[in-house]
Amino acid sequence: MEKIIEIVRGDITRLEVDAIVNAANSSLLGGGGVDGAIHRAAGPELLAECRNIATARRPGEACPAGEAVITGAYGLPCKKVIHTVGPVWYGGSRGEPELLASCYRKSLLLAEDAGLGSIAFPNISTGVYGYPKEAAAEIALEAVKAALPQCPHIRRALFVCFDDENYRLYRRLAG
């Protein structure tokens, strides 16, 4: 079945897809950027569920970089939120590319396991975490294209760009 990859501009919290991906931090207890926007739109029940996951795991490392967890979506229009923790950019010699690719791959596999049909990604690590936008976009597109064939349920993958630079980059790289 034809898989659709879309590049869209806008606010991920407004998308009525099955899952949106949150660029979280390893505590899973919220933050700024898209993490803050998602928690604001979802409401306090999302933080409560994240806190339950965090307390069941090692303190401070609820979700290591490159990993992902899935929760409910509460006040958001989507069905599930997949929280993944991108790498902080230290110059590229600390495994950042592999960790970033892992965020996209593991998020897709969680959505597939949940039987979801559509998933929307923000531009993970390209804000507070400082990952160079073009390198991140190339990794994101490549990782999603490589993992989609192992995800028979997933029909649509969207890359949601909040800023112009990312939008132009993704449009150019996605062809």
- Residue numbers at the binding site for ligand APR (CB under 6 A): 11-13, 23-25, 31-37, 86, 122-129, 160, 162-163, 166
Q: Which is nearer to ligand APR, 66 or 122 (CB)?
A: 122
Instruction: Look at residues 34, 28, 37 and name the one whose alpha carbon lies nearest to residue 68.
Output: 28
**Of 34 and 111, which has the nearer Cβ to ligand APR?**
34
CB of 109 to ligand APR, least distance (A): 19
Least distance between ligand APR and beta carbon 1 (Å): 27
SS3 65: coil
C-beta of 140 vs 147, nearer to ligand APR: 140
Helix intervals (H) in the chain: 33-42, 44-55, 96-113, 133-147, 164-174
Which of 11, 18, 35, 113 is the catalytic position? 35
CB 35 within 8 A of CB 71: no
**35 flagged as catalytic:** yes
CB of 117 to ligand APR, least distance (A): 20
Tokens encoding 9: 């501009």
In terms of CB distance, is 71 or 166 closer to ligand APR? 166
Residue 152 Cβ, how far from ligand APR at the closest point, in Å?
Answer: 27
* Nearest-angstrom CA–CA distance, 33 and 172: 24
Q: What is the 3-state secondary structure (H, E, C) of 29-63?
A: CCCCHHHHHHHHHHCHHHHHHHHHHHHCCCCCCCC
Question: Which are the catalytic amino acids?
Answer: 35
